[in-house]
Chains A and B, each alone.
Chain A
Amino acid sequence: MLNLHTRTRFPNLLHARVLTEADENAPALILVQTGHPDQVITRREFRQHARAYAYALHKMGMAARDLVIIAHTQNLESVYAFWGALLLGAIPSMFPTLTEKLDPALYMASIAELVNLSQVRAVLTTDDFAAQLAPRVTCSVYGSTALLAEVGTGEAPRYVPDPHEVAFLQHSSGTTGLQKGVALAHERVLNQLASYSSALALSERDVIVSWLPLYHDMGLIAGFILPLFQGLPLVLMSPFDWVRHPALLLRAIHNHQGTLCWLPNFAYNHMARRVRHADSEGLSLASMRAFVNCSEPVRADSHAMFLERFAPHGLRESMLTVSYAMAENTFAVTQTPIGQAPHIDWVDRRALMEDQRALPVPPDSPQALAQVSCGAPIVGSEVKVVDEQGRPLPERHVGELMIRSDCMLMAYYRRPDLRPFDAEGWYDSGDKGYMADGQVYVIGRTKDLIINAGKNVYPQDLEAIVNGVEGVHPGRAVVFGVPDEEEGTELIAVVAEVDTDDPQEHKRIKQAIRQAVARASDVSVNFVTLVGAGWLIKTSSGKISRAKNRDKWLAEQSGQA
C-alpha cells in the first residue's frame, strides 16, 4: 500500500491499486441504495469499465489535458468517467448534478460560467440535462446514451502522467466557489494519500464507508480516491439517499464490516437524533476503527450525543477522531490519533471572545468552553498562526491559520491573477484558531463564510439571490450563519427589508425568498425575518454589516423567546 515508506513506488495516480492489484475478484466498490440490493463491483469490472470509458472519451475526441466536467448523481457512471478521464490523461472535475429542487436555468448558467472561465472541453451528464445544456455552452456536452454508445472494447492511447502535472480539479459550490478550480498535481495528491494513510495506520483490512458527495473534497479524497487508490473496498451511497434515511450508513457499516468513515459535524447530530430505534435494531458498529469529524467546526456535544445514542451498538469514544482539512491541501492538514478520543481543551470563554486568547480553565469553571482538538499536522504539512499583519503568534493566541505543505494545490486553474501563497509558500486558510501542545484548534472563520452541514456557503451569493426577490428592497438584505446546537451546524438566516406590513404579502415574500434560495443554491434557508426600512445596520462605508446585523437579530430573537 501507499504510505510514507512506500511513497516513491507510486509515481502517479494510475498506479492505483484498484487498477493494478493481482486479485481481480476482490470488491472495488459496493453501491448501497435504499430499496435496492447492494451492488458489488469487482476490481475486474471496475478496470473494464474505466478502460471502456477512457476509450469512449477518446473516440469522442477528448485528449490528454482536456478539462472534463462530470455532473451526475452519485452513480457508477460518474465513477467510471472520472477514472476513464484519468486513464486518458484528461483532467476530470466532479460537479453537483441538477436536482428537482434547483432551477435548471440558473444551474445551466453556472455551468456555462464554469465552461467559459476554465475552458472546459466537455461536460458529461444525464441525457435529459445534456439536451438542455448543449445549446447554452461553448463546449461539447455528452449525455449517458451518447457516451455509452461509444463505450467499446478498443484501447484508448496509453498515457503516462508527469507527476508534476494537474491530475484533477476540485471546485467548491456557489458563484464564488465556481471561479476557483483547485488544481492538484499527481505528486501532491500522492503525498497527501501517503501521509494521510500513515496517520490513519491504514491497512489491507480497512473498509471505507461513505455517503459524501464526490464534488466535495472530503467525499472525493477520503471517500473515493483514497480507498480506490489503496485497493480497499469502498462502500458508497448517495448523499441524497443518506440525508433522508440516515440509518443507511449504519446498515452499510454493519453489512460490510466498515472500519473508517468521514462525516461533517452535523451528521453526528443527524444520526443521533434521526435514526429511529426500529431502524438501528441489531446493527453493530463494532467493526469501526474511526469516524473522522471533518469540514465544519467540531462540537464536543455532537460527539457526546452520537456516543450516547450508538454506544449500545458497539460505538466507543476512542472511535471518534477529528481532522482539519481543505481542498487546497488536497484534503487533510491534521488528524487526531486513531484509537483515542480527541483532546478537549477547556478554555475561558470570555478571554477567547474578547482577548483572542485560549486560557486553560478547569472543565467545571462557569466560563469553561470546550474546544475539540483537530490533532497535529500530518507529515509534510505545517500550520502556523499569525496576526492580521502576518506576524507569527505564540501558543494559545487566536489568529489566522496559515498552511504550508507538500500536498498543496499548484494554482487555481487558469487563474494566474489569483495567488494562493505568500512569498514563503504559506496558504491563508481563512480559518481562525490557535495551537497548543502541537495541536491545532479551529474556532471559526476570518471571513463571513457560512458552513452549513459541511457545505461552504458564501453569504454574498445568497444575498444576490434574495435581492432579486420581488418585494425586497434591492441591496437591503443580509445573510448570515447562526450556530445551532440541535443540528450541530450553522443554520442560515436571511433578514430583508420590505415596505409592506400586510401578512399575506409577508407570506408571499418569505415563500419567494425560501424558494429562490432553494432553486439557486444547494442549501435551504432556515430563518427568514422581514423587517421595515432602516432596520439593517450599515458600516461607515455604507456596506451592510453581516456581523452587526447578526448580533442585532440574535438579540431580538432572544428577547422574543
Chain B
Amino acid sequence: MDEVTVRAKLSRYITQEIMRDPDYVLDDDEPIISGGLMDSFSLAKVGVFCEKEFGVFIPDPDLTVAKMDTLRQMVARVLRDFR
C-alpha cells in the first residue's frame, strides 16, 4: 500500500466514521484533535483502525495528541511500520 492510499483511507475513516461528515476535506496539517475535529477518545479508534486496516499496531505510548494530531503524522506513523 502506498502513501496516497494510506492517506485516503485514514482521511475517509476520520471524516466519515468519526466526524460523520464525508464531504469534509481534511488537510494534511490540519490539527484534528487539538482543533476539535475529533475528541481524544477517538485516538483509541484510530489505533484500532490502523491495526485492522493496515496491520500496524501502534503502542499506547505513541497514541498521543502530540504524535497523532494531523493526517500527515498519522500517515507517517503507519508507513513507518507498514510492510
> Is A141 close to B, CB under 8 A?
no
- Min CB gap A284→B, angstroms: 19
B-binding segment of A270-278, A290-298, A421-429: A270-278
Cβ-defined partner of A514 (8 Å) among B36, B40, B41, B63: B36
Query: Whole-angstrom distance between the alpha carbons of A278 and B21 in the complex?
Result: 31
A residues within 8 A CB of B33?
A: 101
Q: Which of B39-79 contact A (CB under 8 A)?
A: 39-41, 43-45, 47-48, 51, 57, 60-61, 63-65
Contact B47 A240 (CB under 8 A): no
Query: Whole-angstrom distance between the alpha carbons of A34 and B62 in the complex?
Result: 10
Contact B36 A517 (CB under 8 A): yes
How many residues belonging to A are interface residues under a CB distance threshold of 8 Å? 34
Contact B44 A245 (CB under 8 A): yes
> Is B10 close to A, CB under 8 A?
no
B residues within 8 A CB of A453?
A: 41
B residues within 8 A CB of A245?
A: 44, 60, 63
Contact A244 B21 (CB under 8 A): no
Query: Whole-angstrom distance between the alpha carbons of A273 and B18 in the complex?
Result: 14
> Is A35 close to B, CB under 8 A?
yes
Query: Whole-angstrom distance between the alpha carbons of A231 and B23 in the complex?
Result: 54
Query: Whole-angstrom distance between the alpha carbons of A525 and B34 in the complex?
Result: 13
Contact A244 B64 (CB under 8 A): yes
Residues 154-172 of A, flagged 1 when their CB comes within 8 A of B and 0 if not, give 0000000000000000000
A266 — nearest CB in chain B belongs to which residue? B41
Contact B21 A276 (CB under 8 A): no
Query: Whole-angstrom distance between the alpha carbons of A10 and B42 in the complex?
Result: 44
> Is A519 close to B, CB under 8 A?
yes
- Min CB gap B42→A, angstroms: 8
B25 — nearest CB in chain A belongs to which residue? A507
A residues within 8 A CB of B44?
A: 243-246, 270, 274
Residues 1-39 of B, flagged 1 when their CB comes within 8 A of A and 0 if not, give 000000000000000000111011100001001111111
A residues within 8 A CB of B20?
A: 526-527
- Min CB gap B55→A, angstroms: 12
B residues within 8 A CB of A527?
A: 20-21
B43 — nearest CB in chain A belongs to which residue? A244
Contact A276 B51 (CB under 8 A): yes
Contact B24 A278 (CB under 8 A): no
Query: Whole-angstrom distance between the alpha carbons of A287 and B2 in the complex?
Result: 46
B residues within 8 A CB of A517?
A: 36
Q: Which of A96-131 contact B (CB under 8 A)?
A: 100-101
> Is A518 close to B, CB under 8 A?
yes
Contact A519 B36 (CB under 8 A): yes
Q: A101-B36, A276-B48, A528-B21 are in contact. Are A243 and B61 (CB under 8 A)?
A: no
B residues within 8 A CB of A516?
A: 36
Query: Whole-angstrom distance between the alpha carbons of A243 and B45 in the complex?
Result: 10
Q: A276-B48, A276-B51 are in contact. Are A244 and B63 (CB under 8 A)?
A: yes
Contact B37 A244 (CB under 8 A): no
Query: Whole-angstrom distance between the alpha carbons of A279 and B45 in the complex?
Result: 14
Q: A244-B41, A245-B44 are in contact. Are A518 and B35 (CB under 8 A)?
A: yes
Q: A247-B60, A276-B48 are in contact. Are A100 and B37 (CB under 8 A)?
A: no
Most buried by B among A100, A276, A503: A276
Cβ-defined partner of B61 (8 Å) among A35, A100, A503: A35
Cβ-defined partner of A515 (8 Å) among B25, B35, B43: B35
Query: Whole-angstrom distance between the alpha carbons of A523 and B60 in the complex?
Result: 22
- Min CB gap B35→A, angstroms: 5
Q: A276-B47, A528-B21 are in contact. Are A270 and B60 (CB under 8 A)?
A: no
Query: Whole-angstrom distance between the alpha carbons of A284 and B53 in the complex?
Result: 28
Question: 16 more A-B contacts (CB under 8 A) besides A101-B40, A525-B36?
Answer: A100-B34, A101-B36, A243-B41, A244-B64, A274-B41, A274-B44, A274-B47, A276-B47, A276-B48, A278-B51, A278-B57, A507-B24, A510-B24, A518-B35, A524-B39, A528-B21
Contact sample, A vs B, 10 pairs, CB 8 Å cutoff: A35-B60, A101-B40, A244-B40, A246-B44, A279-B60, A453-B41, A511-B30, A514-B35, A525-B36, A526-B20
A residues engaging B (CB < 8 A)? 34-35, 100-101, 240, 243-248, 270, 273-274, 276, 278-279, 453, 503, 507, 510-511, 514-519, 523-528
B residues engaging A (CB < 8 A)? 19-21, 23-25, 30, 33-41, 43-45, 47-48, 51, 57, 60-61, 63-65
Q: Please list the 7 inter-chain residue pairs (A to B) with the smallest Cβ-Cβ separation, ordered nearest first.
A: A518-B36, A524-B39, A274-B44, A245-B60, A243-B41, A35-B61, A514-B36
